Structure 1
Amino acid sequence: MLIAHLSDLHIRPQGVLYQGLVDSNKMCKQAIEHLHALRPRPDVVIITGDLVDEGLPAEYEMAKMLLAGIEQPLLLIPGNHDDRARFRAAFAEQSLAASEGPLHFVAAGLGPVRIIGLDITVPGQHHGDMDEAAQAWLEGALAQEPERPTLIMLHQPPFLSGIPYIDPYACFNAQRLARTVERYPAVERVVCGHVHRAMQLRFGGTLLCTAPSTTTAIGLALEPGAEEASYLEPPALLLHHWKPDTGLITHWVPIGAFPGPMPFA
């Protein structure tokens, strides 16, 4: 099973640049074109939040138009830049789990890996929160098929990266998530967005990784007093490949055209 993982598209209204500088809509289109060129083609596409930049109706109209080009089943969760109500209305055909409140879901019919979407966003805030209600919901979802290979997707990462200007906006109460995941060894991966960089670490007895953005990268600045900055590094996506003999393998896939192929390996 192949799971393509995009994140932090920051789609803007037609003709408007992200932060007044970057054509995030064009970069989103390029990411989808690259996605279509992958062989074999992914079975499902997931997006871990920040579909749009300001939660505007015009942004969701553009997002629907751009994402309509994805031919595979598409699973989405909101990020801190999304508006939950407008997100729900824009993608109502996806049978989002609740008519109000967090947009959690369980997708178990797309292949051997069950995909769980966990909406930990806090409306009006940039941080996330693994509150008691989210913990109880996740516990119930995992308990339905405790031995099934599972990927959990959320937006804000439940750890401190060391980048001083992004860490205040992590997922609060991360220990609740870690304790829950520890009880279910079949959780192959916890995946996040938000930090616009690829990172990986052990978490809750499994592996956690963050996805790069399809637009700008947040600067890798580990000095305590570093000033916030972003860069036009090569955009990328993640490709999670599940095989019975290995479990889940995660590949970092740069987006674009590169010299090759060359006759050696």
Structure 2
Amino acid sequence: MKIVQISDTHLTAHGGRTQENFERVVDHVNNHLRPDLVVHSGDIVIIHPDDAADRAHARTLMAEFTAPVLVVPGNHDIGEPGAAPWAGIGVTDERVAAFESVWGTGHWRHDAGGWTVLGLNSELFGSGLGREAEQWAWIENTVADLPATARVIVFLHKPIWQVADEPTDHNLDIGESRARLLDLLGTVSLAAVGSGHLHCYRQTRRGETLEVWAPATAFVAGDGDTFAGPLHQLGIVEYDCADGTVRAGYRSVPGLDDVSATGVPEVIAAITALTDSPVG
């Protein structure tokens, strides 16, 4: 089985550079990589989860893939948990429901060729919403149902493992929910975890598990958001799953321009609109 992970597309109904990059990705995936499954690990829309036009436009664009597509939400798709979410955009039942009306549930299970692929909604962890409890119950029931022979790959927007040693002004990983989730996933044969959010590529080992940070397709991290070590280029990730082993690799896509957010007019416009009409 071959999986392609794309992430942080930041698409908008206004089109522009992020859409141009996305269309190059679709062409490359459809005509060169030809995976069995495409997984989008969140931040599908450009900035604000309440923009229905962006969401509908992104759904139309995603249908251009020839392989089946599964998605999990990012913070720009539904808001994020915590007392100080980015730009004040917190995760709410209404925002999750709007996402689900287009994409379906933010947590899911996909079985193929002896592999089980799980998608999780990272923005519910620590949210205190009733939907968080529902997802925890789903995870518990799902891992209990998995046969011992199943090899598992997990996708979510924010990394499970701690990203930064020092506190930051926004959420980089799933925080205190980490211990509970790793305890549950410790009961299965966890081959790999793929996440997005950080707009850079890194691959490392967590015991027997491969941890992958997927690059963005929209723009690279800005100077204040970069980490030493990862690859700061746009691209995608290809997973080859065979004989019980996952091999993951960064794949460049011809034509992508490694620009930062400040070089994307549509991003600047979306942030300016948010500043002019702050979330109350």
* Shorter-chain TM band: 0.7 to 0.9
Structure 1 residue 137, shift from structure 2 partner: 2.3
1:43 to 36, 49, 67: 36
Matched residue, 1:261: none
Matched residue, 1:150: 152
Q: Cα gap change, 1:199/1:65 in structure 2, threshold over 3 Å: closer, same or farther?
A: same
Matched residue, 2:86: none
1:7-66 alpha-carbon deviations (Å, 9 max, x no partner): 111111224x5xxxxx11111111111111224x20010001111021211111210221
Q: How high is the sequence identity, in percent, across the aligned residues? A: 24
Matched, 1:139 2:140: yes
User: Conserved in 1, the CA contact under 8 Å of 2:191 and 2:208?
Assistant: no
Q: Decide which structure has greater helix share.
A: 2
Q: Cα gap change, 1:85/1:132 in structure 2, threshold over 3 Å: closer, same or farther?
A: closer
Q: Distance in 2 between matches of 1:71 and 1:248?
A: 23
Report which stretch shifted further, 66-75 or 145-154: 145-154
Matched residue, 1:174: 178
Q: How many residues align?
A: 227
DSSP-derived class of the 2:171 partner? helix
Q: Distance in 2 between matches of 1:240 and 1:119?
A: 21
Matched residue, 1:248: 246
TM-score (norm 1): 0.76
User: Conserved in 1, the CA contact under 8 Å of 2:10 and 2:43?
Assistant: yes
Structure 1 residue 79, shift from structure 2 partner: 0.7
1:212-258 alpha-carbon deviations (Å, 9 max, x no partner): 00111114x7xxxxx3479xx642100000111x6110011011169
- AA aligned opposite 2:143: L
Q: Cα gap change, 1:144/1:51 in structure 2, threshold over 3 Å: closer, same or farther?
A: same
User: Conserved in 2, the CA contact under 8 Å of 1:49 and 1:155?
Assistant: yes
- AA aligned opposite 1:150: V
Give every structure 1 segment of 4 or more consecutive aligned residues whose post-TM-superposition deviation is greater than 6 Å: none
Note the 1:119-134 alignment, pairs <5 A: 119-122=121-124, 134=135
Q: Distance in 1 between matches of 2:225 and 2:7?
A: 20
TM-score (norm 2): 0.72
Q: Distance in 1 between matches of 2:233 and 2:27?
A: 15
> Please, which runs of 5 or more residues in structure 2 have no aligned partner?
79-95, 257-280
Matched, 1:81 2:76: yes
CA root-mean-square deviation: 2.9
1:151-208 alpha-carbon deviations (Å, 9 max, x no partner): 1111111223338657733212211122222221x22111111111112333374221
Matched residue, 2:190: 187
Note the 1:66-77 alignment, pairs <5 A: 66-77=61-72
Q: Distance in 2 between matches of 1:176 and 1:203?
A: 16
> Please, which runs of 5 or more residues in structure 1 have no aligned partner?
18-22, 98-102, 126-130, 222-226, 259-265
Q: Distance in 1 between matches of 2:226 and 2:156?
A: 24
